Chains A and B, each alone.
Chain A
Amino acid sequence: GQQVMQIPQYQHVQEGEDFTTYCNSSTTLSNIQWYKQRPGGHPVFLIQLVKSGEVKKQKRLTFQFGEAKKNSSLHITATQTTDVGTYFCAGDNYGQNFVFGPGTRLSVLP
């Protein structure tokens, strides 16, 4: 079945440093979503990418969808302590199934 992997599993950065998490699917995806879960909280939707090679920005966050629609990345510029949490990608295999990645846990040291 479809598998979605994320790397790294954990990332510790100093406040102000950049951060990137990568999401890789074993199958081609129709779209990919990114969610953020703060410690003790529930996942909150960040963005959805649909088109091959698509790039979207939200303030300091940049999201990319690969040309082959099998991978994606989330890049945070100049991290802040408010960025702490676990970032999940979730991929849809053209309606056949829907899988969340295991997440990347980000900690930001002040």
Chain B
Amino acid sequence: DVQLEESGGGLVQPGGSLRLSCAVSGFTFSSYWMTWVRQAPGKGLEWVAIMKHDASEEYYVDSVKGRFTISRDNAKNSLYLQMNSLGAEDTAVYYCARNYLHYYYGLDVWGQGTTVSVSS
């Protein structure tokens, strides 16, 4: 079965840092672009970041540029999101997702999400 499993969420104080992980199984991770998407409580989906299959390209939503870093370890079948200088606006469920066929086609496999709460 194709599976994505996020971890690393939790409660963090404003200005703090967290590192999210996404463990992948059931497909050739090194062949796919991968994406992070978040959803604030009661709100819609927001695309956060994307990384090319070989880690040679990465892109971010404007609101996290300079604070968040996406990375991957193809040997460990894992995707990461390093989040620094966190603010209340970053409180959300964070999903990792696989890009379908081409990187612009959509996200066909999603994890169950990990919750990040930023509060003092």
Q: A and B, one complex?
A: no
